[in-house]
Protein backbone atom coordinates (compact mmCIF):
# COMPACT_ATOMS: atom_id res chain seq x y z
CA UNK A 1 0.00 0.00 0.00
CA UNK A 2 1.50 3.44 -0.93
CA UNK A 3 2.37 5.56 2.08
CA UNK A 4 0.01 8.36 0.98
CA UNK A 5 -2.93 5.93 1.00
CA UNK A 6 -1.88 4.46 4.34
CA UNK A 7 -1.74 7.89 5.94
CA UNK A 8 -5.05 8.97 4.43
CA UNK A 9 -6.86 5.89 5.71
CA UNK A 10 -5.78 6.64 9.28
CA UNK A 11 -6.38 10.37 9.51
CA UNK A 12 -8.57 11.51 12.40
CA UNK A 13 -9.00 14.97 13.98
CA UNK A 14 -6.72 15.76 16.89
CA UNK A 15 -8.93 17.55 19.40
CA UNK A 16 -7.21 19.69 22.03
CA UNK A 17 -9.72 21.30 24.33
CA UNK A 18 -12.93 23.23 23.79
CA UNK A 19 -13.77 26.67 22.44
CA UNK A 20 -16.64 28.63 23.98
CA UNK A 21 -17.97 31.94 22.62
CA UNK A 22 -20.51 34.06 24.47
CA UNK A 23 -21.70 37.64 24.38
CA UNK A 24 -20.36 40.04 26.98
CA UNK A 25 -22.76 42.75 28.05
CA UNK A 26 -19.95 44.47 29.95
CA UNK A 27 -17.65 44.66 26.92
CA UNK A 28 -20.45 44.90 24.34
CA UNK A 29 -18.91 42.21 22.14
CA UNK A 30 -18.59 38.46 21.75
CA UNK A 31 -15.72 36.89 23.67
CA UNK A 32 -14.04 33.52 23.27
CA UNK A 33 -12.35 31.25 25.77
CA UNK A 34 -10.34 28.10 25.09
CA UNK A 35 -10.65 25.39 27.72
CA UNK A 36 -8.44 22.37 28.39
CA UNK A 37 -9.80 19.67 30.68
CA UNK A 38 -7.54 17.00 32.17
CA UNK A 39 -8.02 13.35 31.20
CA UNK A 40 -10.80 11.72 33.21
CA UNK A 41 -12.63 14.99 33.82
CA UNK A 42 -15.91 13.68 32.37
CA UNK A 43 -16.04 10.76 34.78
CA UNK A 44 -14.76 12.61 37.85
CA UNK A 45 -16.66 14.40 40.58
CA UNK A 46 -14.07 16.48 42.43
CA UNK A 47 -13.73 20.24 41.84
CA UNK A 48 -10.43 21.06 40.16
CA UNK A 49 -8.03 24.02 40.36
CA UNK A 50 -8.63 26.46 37.55
CA UNK A 51 -5.98 28.51 35.78
CA UNK A 52 -7.10 31.63 33.91
CA UNK A 53 -4.58 32.50 31.22
CA UNK A 54 -4.43 35.98 29.72
CA UNK A 55 -3.29 36.02 26.08
CA UNK A 56 -5.10 32.69 25.83
CA UNK A 57 -5.92 32.59 22.12
CA UNK A 58 -5.09 29.38 20.25
CA UNK A 59 -2.33 31.22 18.37
CA UNK A 60 -0.97 32.81 21.54
CA UNK A 61 -0.20 30.97 24.80
CA UNK A 62 -3.08 28.55 25.24
CA UNK A 63 -1.59 25.54 23.46
CA UNK A 64 1.81 25.49 25.12
CA UNK A 65 0.52 26.34 28.60
CA UNK A 66 -2.21 23.68 28.45
CA UNK A 67 0.42 21.26 27.17
CA UNK A 68 2.63 22.09 30.11
CA UNK A 69 -0.21 21.40 32.56
CA UNK A 70 -0.97 18.16 30.73
CA UNK A 71 2.66 17.05 30.96
CA UNK A 72 3.24 18.02 34.58
CA UNK A 73 -0.07 16.60 35.83
CA UNK A 74 0.07 13.48 33.64
CA UNK A 75 3.39 12.11 32.46
CA UNK A 76 5.55 13.81 35.10
CA UNK A 77 2.95 13.55 37.86
CA UNK A 78 4.43 16.51 39.73
CA UNK A 79 1.31 18.70 39.98
CA UNK A 80 -2.38 18.14 40.55
CA UNK A 81 -4.74 18.03 37.54
CA UNK A 82 -6.16 21.45 36.69
CA UNK A 83 -8.44 23.17 34.19
CA UNK A 84 -6.87 25.76 31.89
CA UNK A 85 -9.05 28.62 30.62
CA UNK A 86 -7.37 30.70 27.92
CA UNK A 87 -8.97 34.12 27.49
CA UNK A 88 -8.70 34.90 23.79
CA UNK A 89 -7.82 38.48 22.92
CA UNK A 90 -9.82 41.02 20.96
CA UNK A 91 -7.66 44.07 21.72
CA UNK A 92 -5.09 43.37 24.42
CA UNK A 93 -3.77 46.95 24.48
CA UNK A 94 -7.28 48.17 25.22
CA UNK A 95 -8.13 45.48 27.78
CA UNK A 96 -4.85 45.19 29.67
CA UNK A 97 -4.01 48.87 30.27
CA UNK A 98 -5.43 51.63 32.42
CA UNK A 99 -5.49 55.25 31.15
CA UNK A 100 -2.09 56.82 30.67
CA UNK A 101 -0.96 60.42 30.95
CA UNK A 102 1.90 59.85 28.51
CA UNK A 103 1.18 61.55 25.19
CA UNK A 104 3.41 59.21 23.18
CA UNK A 105 1.66 56.13 24.58
CA UNK A 106 -1.70 57.60 23.61
CA UNK A 107 -0.38 58.22 20.11
CA UNK A 108 1.25 54.81 19.71
CA UNK A 109 -1.61 52.86 21.32
CA UNK A 110 -4.82 54.83 20.68
CA UNK A 111 -7.22 52.16 21.99
CA UNK A 112 -5.62 51.81 25.44
CA UNK A 113 -7.15 52.50 28.81
CA UNK A 114 -10.06 50.10 29.39
CA UNK A 115 -8.61 47.63 31.90
CA UNK A 116 -11.22 48.55 34.53
CA UNK A 117 -13.97 47.42 32.16
CA UNK A 118 -12.11 44.22 31.36
CA UNK A 119 -11.68 43.44 35.06
CA UNK A 120 -15.44 43.92 35.48
CA UNK A 121 -15.94 41.43 32.65
CA UNK A 122 -13.72 38.90 34.45
CA UNK A 123 -15.58 39.29 37.73
CA UNK A 124 -19.17 39.67 36.59
CA UNK A 125 -19.31 37.49 33.46
CA UNK A 126 -16.28 35.30 32.84
CA UNK A 127 -15.85 33.73 36.26
CA UNK A 128 -19.59 33.04 36.68
CA UNK A 129 -19.69 31.49 33.19
CA UNK A 130 -16.75 29.21 33.95
CA UNK A 131 -17.95 28.13 37.39
CA UNK A 132 -21.39 27.36 35.93
CA UNK A 133 -20.00 25.14 33.17
CA UNK A 134 -17.12 23.37 34.94
CA UNK A 135 -16.27 21.80 38.31
CA UNK A 136 -14.07 24.54 39.72
CA UNK A 137 -12.33 24.56 43.07
CA UNK A 138 -12.13 27.79 45.04
CA UNK A 139 -9.22 30.23 44.76
CA UNK A 140 -8.52 30.29 41.02
CA UNK A 141 -5.20 31.36 39.50
CA UNK A 142 -4.55 34.27 37.14
CA UNK A 143 -1.56 34.11 34.77
CA UNK A 144 -0.30 37.14 32.87
CA UNK A 145 2.88 38.15 31.05
CA UNK A 146 3.99 41.58 29.84
CA UNK A 147 0.84 43.72 29.47
CA UNK A 148 -0.98 40.70 30.88
CA UNK A 149 1.32 40.96 33.89
CA UNK A 150 0.37 44.62 34.21
CA UNK A 151 -3.31 43.65 34.26
CA UNK A 152 -2.71 40.84 36.78
CA UNK A 153 -0.94 43.36 39.04
CA UNK A 154 -3.84 45.77 38.73
CA UNK A 155 -6.31 43.04 39.69
CA UNK A 156 -4.14 42.19 42.70
CA UNK A 157 -4.04 45.85 43.71
CA UNK A 158 -7.73 46.58 43.26
CA UNK A 159 -9.65 43.30 43.68
CA UNK A 160 -7.22 40.82 45.19
CA UNK A 161 -9.89 38.32 46.25
CA UNK A 162 -10.89 37.61 42.63
CA UNK A 163 -8.02 35.11 42.55
CA UNK A 164 -6.20 33.12 45.17
CA UNK A 165 -2.97 32.87 43.18
CA UNK A 166 -1.31 35.32 40.80
CA UNK A 167 1.51 34.37 38.45
CA UNK A 168 2.95 37.66 37.22
CA UNK A 169 5.59 37.24 34.53
CA UNK A 170 7.68 40.11 33.15
CA UNK A 171 5.01 42.70 33.99
CA UNK A 172 4.91 45.94 31.98
CA UNK A 173 4.90 48.06 35.10
CA UNK A 174 6.68 50.83 33.21
CA UNK A 175 3.24 51.82 31.91
CA UNK A 176 2.27 55.43 32.75
CA UNK A 177 5.62 56.17 34.42
CA UNK A 178 5.25 53.19 36.79
CA UNK A 179 2.19 54.70 38.44
CA UNK A 180 0.71 51.35 39.44
CA UNK A 181 3.95 50.26 41.07
CA UNK A 182 4.23 53.57 42.93
CA UNK A 183 0.65 53.27 44.22
CA UNK A 184 0.82 49.55 45.01
CA UNK A 185 1.56 49.90 48.71
CA UNK A 186 -1.26 52.36 49.31
CA UNK A 187 -3.74 50.23 47.39
CA UNK A 188 -2.87 47.00 49.17
CA UNK A 189 -3.27 48.63 52.58
CA UNK A 190 -6.96 49.15 51.84
CA UNK A 191 -7.58 45.39 51.61
CA UNK A 192 -7.77 42.66 54.21
CA UNK A 193 -5.35 40.25 52.59
CA UNK A 194 -4.96 36.64 53.61
CA UNK A 195 -3.93 33.38 51.95
CA UNK A 196 -3.01 35.10 48.68
CA UNK A 197 -0.10 33.64 46.72
CA UNK A 198 1.92 35.63 44.20
CA UNK A 199 4.69 34.27 41.98
CA UNK A 200 6.75 36.93 40.18
CA UNK A 201 9.54 36.54 37.64
CA UNK A 202 11.39 38.35 34.88
CA UNK A 203 14.13 37.24 32.52
CA UNK A 204 17.74 38.32 32.71
CA UNK A 205 17.75 39.06 28.98
CA UNK A 206 14.65 41.26 29.14
CA UNK A 207 14.74 45.08 29.39
CA UNK A 208 16.31 46.30 32.63
CA UNK A 209 13.21 48.28 33.58
CA UNK A 210 11.14 45.10 33.41
CA UNK A 211 13.56 43.25 35.68
CA UNK A 212 13.83 46.14 38.14
CA UNK A 213 10.08 46.67 38.34
CA UNK A 214 9.40 42.96 38.90
CA UNK A 215 11.91 42.96 41.76
CA UNK A 216 10.39 46.15 43.20
CA UNK A 217 6.90 44.64 43.10
CA UNK A 218 8.11 41.54 44.92
CA UNK A 219 9.77 43.70 47.58
CA UNK A 220 6.52 45.56 48.22
CA UNK A 221 4.43 42.39 48.42
CA UNK A 222 6.80 40.69 50.84
CA UNK A 223 5.90 43.27 53.47
CA UNK A 224 2.39 41.80 53.73
CA UNK A 225 1.90 38.74 55.90
CA UNK A 226 -1.32 37.90 54.05
CA UNK A 227 0.56 37.48 50.78
CA UNK A 228 2.89 34.55 50.18
CA UNK A 229 5.31 36.00 47.64
CA UNK A 230 7.81 34.09 45.55
CA UNK A 231 10.28 36.03 43.42
CA UNK A 232 12.12 33.77 40.99
CA UNK A 233 13.95 35.62 38.17
CA UNK A 234 15.37 33.53 35.34
CA UNK A 235 18.71 34.99 34.22
CA UNK A 236 18.97 33.12 30.92
CA UNK A 237 15.50 33.90 29.52
CA UNK A 238 14.32 36.62 27.15
CA UNK A 239 10.78 37.89 26.56
CA UNK A 240 9.97 35.13 24.07
CA UNK A 241 11.20 32.21 26.19
CA UNK A 242 10.25 33.57 29.59
CA UNK A 243 6.63 32.50 30.04
CA UNK A 244 6.94 28.79 29.30
CA UNK A 245 10.08 28.25 31.35
CA UNK A 246 8.77 30.36 34.22
CA UNK A 247 5.48 28.46 34.36
CA UNK A 248 7.31 25.13 34.35
CA UNK A 249 8.90 26.18 37.64
CA UNK A 250 5.94 28.11 39.02
CA UNK A 251 3.47 25.27 38.59
CA UNK A 252 5.83 22.86 40.34
CA UNK A 253 6.16 25.25 43.29
CA UNK A 254 2.49 26.26 43.57
CA UNK A 255 0.54 23.13 42.63
CA UNK A 256 2.60 20.15 43.74
Number of domains in the chain: 1
> Could you tell me if residue 191 is inside a domain?
yes
Q: How far apart are CA 210 and CA 170, in angstroms?
A: 6
Is residue 72, in this structure, part of any structural domain at all? Answer: yes
Residue 11 located in a structural domain: no
Q: Supply the pTM of this predicted model.
A: 0.94
In whole angstroms, what is the distance from residue 167 CA to residue 153 CA? 9
User: Does residue 10 lie in a domain region?
Assistant: no
pLDDT in tens, 116-164: 999 999 999 999 999 999 999 999 999 999 999 999 999 999 999 999 9
56-115 pLDDT, tens per residue?
Answer: 999 999 999 999 999 999 999 899 999 999 999 999 999 999 999 999 988 988 999 999
SS (H, E, C) 92-134: HHHHCCCCCCCHHHHHHCCCCCCHHHHHHHHHHHHHHHHHHHC
C-alpha dist (Å) from residue 72 to 3, 17, 103, 249: 35, 17, 45, 10
For 138-151, write each residue's pLDDT tens digit.
999 999 999 999 99
Domain encompassing residue 63: 16-254
* pLDDT digit string, tens, across residues 27-55: 999 999 999 999 999 998 999 999 999 99
Amino acid sequence: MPFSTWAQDRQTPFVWGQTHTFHSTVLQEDRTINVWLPPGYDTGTQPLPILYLLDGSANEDFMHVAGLVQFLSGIAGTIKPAIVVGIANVDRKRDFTFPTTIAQDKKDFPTTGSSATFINFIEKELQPYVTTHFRCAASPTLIGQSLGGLLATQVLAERPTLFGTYIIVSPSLWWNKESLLKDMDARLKSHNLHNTRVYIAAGGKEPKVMQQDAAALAKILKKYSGIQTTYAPLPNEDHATMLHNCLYQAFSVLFH
